[in-house]
Amino acid sequence: MVLTRAAQSGEVAALGLLLEQHRAGMRAVALSILGPGPDADDAVQDAALIALRGIGDVRDPAAVGAWLRMIVRNRCRDMKRAARQVEPYAVVPRPRSEDRAGGGAGVGVGATPEDVLDRLAMRDWVWEALEQLSPTLRLPVVLRYFTEGVSGYDRIAEVCGVPVGTVRSRLNQARGKLADALAATTAEAHSDARVRTRASWQEAHHTLAAAEAGDFGKVISRRWSPELSMMTGATRIGDGALIRDAMDVSLAAGVRQRPVNVAAGRSVAVWEMDMINPTDDPEHCPAALAWIMSLDGGRVSQLRLVHPVPLDGPATPDLYALTQKVPDV
């Protein structure tokens, strides 16, 4: 119980000890469902990272073991049902009432973005540890565990411009290095992750409002890097003028965007959007879009646009076409 409370207060050493204390039970669950092999190890590692973002939701410290085993069990069942890896949980599962004392509802259907941030924002020290990873390891971790629509292995592979096998390898490397990074950053001063995430949320709204007012070019010139690169995978396809023109065409067609999820660190930020098509052209664009931004000194230096579920038909000459662009060779 003491370890759980300490972990909830942000003590990295306590969280490490807590996970180690329950690792045998977590592994036993994985082995009972998946059998011996790398999938069982992946399930336990995934559950440990999921626990990082949800440890504060455990109301009864005595139930933490059941909570961790439940995460492993759910993860294993999903892996066994699917022919491929499925999307991880958008909301961390909580212990059922019979597994823990006390109540506590999850993030409700009517929850505001602020409610979601308050419940699911990463602890400052977790984001600090993520910043210690190399960019090639950090981006897959952020996409896999802190986004909703870009968390599948195939989508991460598309964003990074690498095969799915490489994504799995990088995630495995990152999981091991993250444990060391968490321990290494325990005593360091941490920036406020919630403040940064709220600021990024406001920036997303401001950027869209400026674009609708015809000022997207000003946002790019004032707040984004003059060396901005538009990327497809690992290939540069253009600069700020490309995204500006594509946004203008998209808005002229009546398409609007609404932020639904934000993940923000010092060096990477992701804005996930709902795409709202005009009533006379309801299939103009896919239903969702992710802005994946690399940051340098707080300014966007690289931007990748990814539709989690692309349309089957031909691309229109706007943001959607930009995400489907194949670089010249």
With a CB cutoff of 8 Å and minimum separation 6, the contacts of 286 are 275, 307, 308, 309, 310, 311, 320
CB 153 within 8 A of CB 84: yes
**Residue predicted with more confidence, 240 or 93:** 240
Is pLDDT of 91 > 60?
Answer: no
Is pLDDT of 159 > 50?
Answer: yes
pLDDT tens sequence across 98-127: 333 333 333 343 444 444 333 433 456 677
pLDDT > 90 in the chain, percent: 34
Distance of alpha carbon 275 from alpha carbon 298, whole angstroms = 26
pLDDT at 216: 95
Distance (Å) of CA 232 to CA 72, 205, 247, 285: 34, 24, 17, 18
Specify the pTM.
0.66
SS3 260: strand
pLDDT averaged over the chain?
A: 77
Distance (Å) of CA 200 to CA 158, 273, 284, 291: 24, 13, 27, 12
Is pLDDT of 239 > 90?
Answer: yes
Which secondary structure element, helix H or strand E, spans residue 228, and what is its range? strand 224-232
Which secondary structure element, helix H or strand E, spans residue 270, and what is its range? strand 268-276
- Angle among Cα 201, 203, 208 to the nearest 5 degrees reads 105
- In this structure, the number of other CB atoms found within 10 A of the CB of residue 298 comes to 12
The total number of residues shown for the chain amounts to 329
Out of 28-32, 148-152, 182-186, 207-211, give the one with best mean pLDDT: 207-211
Name residue, tokens 């060396």. Answer: 227
